Amino acid sequence: MPVTKPFDPFRSKLLVYRAVNESPEDEAFVHSIQRDAEAQSGSSYGLLRPESMKASNEFKEHIAEKCLLGAIICLPPINDGEVAGEPVGIICLKSNPPRHAHHRWTDVSIDIAKKYRREVYEDEAIRRGLWYSFQMAGLHRVQLGVFSFNEGALKLYEKLGFKEEGRQREMMWFNGGWHDLVLYGMLEHEWREIQMKSRKEA
């Protein structure tokens, strides 16, 4: 077994993951994510409508208090003494009720601010979410659903090693047509095999 010593689990190569704070800045940032109708159209089942501040604050409370891991994804701090730099997104690992905890699985969701969406941050944040799930939280399975018209997300999750496990056919009505929900999952041993292969290729 490798030697273990204390470390900060909330830093990855390019990003920092910090708590959601009760501050005007975090309230404004979460609202900016939630009111991005283009992004929500690719991930939300709800009938799209303009996002109110009340609804955004309810989502902010959910991230802060009801996720197994709910964090603001940030760039590294510029100045000494700061915890994190500019926020770029939000990540949530779903927390299941106690009576389901023994199944050891979670749903992962991620939102990246529009100005950073074509960067590498979504890739790295999902990788960190997988690492946290299997290495820190002791989970066995991570899953998510992707709308069949969201081709960028489909390519990303397949590149990261998620397996397509099925489809809920024509379960979503959007823009005048029916679309599938594509179900993806990754098991702990699959994640560990990916890590071992990456180390060998490095």
Q: Is the pLDDT of residue 1 over 80?
A: no
Rounded to whole angstroms, what are the CA distances from 104 to 25, 127, 165, 188? 34, 18, 18, 10
Residue 107: pLDDT band (50, 70, 90) is very high
User: Could you give the percent of the chain with pLDDT greater than 90?
Assistant: 89
- The average pLDDT across 124-135 equals 97
d(CA 181, CA 179): 7
Note the pLDDT of residue 92: 97
Rounded to whole angstroms, what are the CA distances from 121 to 12, 36, 104, 113, 166? 10, 18, 26, 10, 27
pLDDT tens-digit profile of 24-78? 999 999 999 999 999 999 888 889 999 999 999 999 999 999 999 999 999 999 9
Given phi > 0 = left and psi -120 to 50 = alpha, else beta, which region is 31? Answer: alpha
Residue of 4 and 140 predicted with greater confidence: 140
pLDDT tens-digit profile of 142-169? 999 999 999 999 999 999 999 999 999 9
Residue of 79 and 124 predicted with greater confidence: 124
- The average pLDDT across 9-24 equals 95
Note the pLDDT of residue 110: 95
User: Do residues 128 and 92 lie in contact, with contact meaning Cβ atoms separated by under 8 Å?
Assistant: no
- DSSP-assigned states of every residue in 30-99: HHHHHT-HHHHHTT--SPP-PPPHHHHHHHHHHHHHTEEEEEEEEPPPSSTT-S--SEEEEEEEEPPPGG
Note the pLDDT of residue 200: 87
**Residue pointed to by tokens 């704070």:** 21
pTM listed for this prediction: 0.94
Q: Which residues contact 6 (CB under 8 A, 6 or more apart)?
A: none
